[in-house]
Structure 1
Amino acid sequence: MRWLTAVELQAERVCAPSPFTNPVGATPPAPSAGLAQEVDALLFASALRDFLRAADLIKWTVSGSPAISPVDKALHVFALAVPNLTDIRDVLEHFDAYERGKGKFQEAAAGKGEDVWATRMLADPRDGSPLLFLMPGDGQKWTLDVRASAVAAEVLYASIQKALMDHPVE
């Protein structure tokens, strides 16, 4: 599946050490430090959402067959592992509306002083895994764990493959 490959390639780029990352205690990075990683994380989020759309297409294809139950279950497990993926992708895709203060989530927060949106890269304090942090402008804060999300995509793909092998669709 092409989109799984895109997810894996982007995850590899985001998680790889880069000249833009500084070890703890090193001289503070230049203002552009981390920009390449953040750009790759934005592309990762888009690829991950397209991977999910391809998996949803498979669900539609197997509807009415015995494969639907395991595919449904696998999609549910993925959704629990990668919460807010569709919303994250939608905010990133419609960045132009958010820059103008007209994003869907910003409009819900109009007049509450919470309409600022932002993205940035963080490191998970437990293991240093890269996290894409996003505030959609309505007071919510979302994180997309790149490493864990890539693993969840691989598990979803394997589950779908098994369902299709166990219940071939004619």
Structure 2
Amino acid sequence: MHSVTDALKPNGTNSALAHAWLWANAVRLQAARVLAAEGDLTHLPEAFMLLVALRDVRRAAKMALSSMQVPAAKDQLSEALADFDRALPGIVEARDAVEHFDEYSLGVGRAQRSRMKTDPHLSQYQLAEEYAVRFGWADAEQLHPHLAVGPHTIAISAAADAASLLVDEIWAAAKTEEGTPTSRAAARAIHHAQKSEPAWRQRQQEGSRQPADQAQGTTDDGIHAESADVP
């Protein structure tokens, strides 16, 4: 039973879902800008913004996870997050290297300090070189760009799909949390059938998939929407 105080609190899962959708769209747009860019002086700035967007899609998923109480919902979203991290390894460290350039460019960033503890022979110069964000191509045709940061290589061509799939996974876990069990397989099926927009915006038999308290007006997180189709 929810108290009056609980009713006045913002819904963390709904807010997380709305922000995940927004940042996943930012990922899609930035990935396209990276592909359209010409030369390293343009590729890297666009890639920097892509890393920020990817990190915030993941942050939104973590926000949703921390708001959930139902074990089945938490389990399926935890699994989805693990798959996201496997598809795009190192985005947290990569974003940190971009955001905290004042530390990483000097070899004293958080990940670099951890590396120095395990290998004290490493110099700050070596660590700065190791964690410099580098743009490159995985193929001679230059169709599959990637970023190298520290020990991680992030495939830019996989970014948009991984981000939008995670949004659909958040939606499915939220449905499970609400009492309507929705499997990860169902989320993936809808994702692959309708890659152009996330599952919770589809209208399939049951009507609106959007959280009920975001149906109109202002969402829990303060984002104004004219209709249920806009987060």
Do Structure 1 and Structure 2 share a fold, with TM-score over 0.5? Answer: yes
2:135 alignment partner, one of 92, 111, 121: 121
- Figure out how many residues of one structure are paired with residues of the other and give that number: 151
Deviates more, 1:39-48 or 1:109-118: 109-118
Give the Å deviation of 1:143: 1.6
Distance 1:98 1:166 in 2: 41
Structure of greater relative contact order (alpha carbons < 8 Å, 6+ residues apart): 1
Per the alignment, do residues 101 and 124 of structure 1 end up closer, same or farther by CA in structure 2, a change over 3 Å counting?
A: same
Q: TM-score, with normalisation over the residues of structure 1?
A: 0.77
1:81 alignment partner, one of 87, 91, 107: 87
Distance 2:152 2:93 in 1: 9
Would you identify which runs of 4 or more consecutive aligned residues in structure 1 move more than 6 Å?
Answer: none
- 2:183 alignment counterpart: none
Tell me the SS of whatever aligns to 1:115: helix
- 1:93 alignment counterpart: 99
- 1:30 alignment counterpart: none
Distance 1:94 1:80 in 2: 24
2:70 is equivalent to residue 58 of structure 1: no
Deviates more, 1:42-51 or 1:151-160: 151-160
Distance 1:134 1:104 in 2: 14
Give the Å deviation of 1:59: 0.8
- Long gaps (5+) in structure 2: 1-20, 180-211, 213-231
Structure richer in helix, relative to its length: 2
- Kept in 1: contact 2:26–2:53 (CA 8 A): yes
2:34 alignment partner, one of 11, 14, 17: 14
Q: TM-score, with normalisation over the residues of structure 2?
A: 0.58
**Structural RMSD (CA):** 2.3
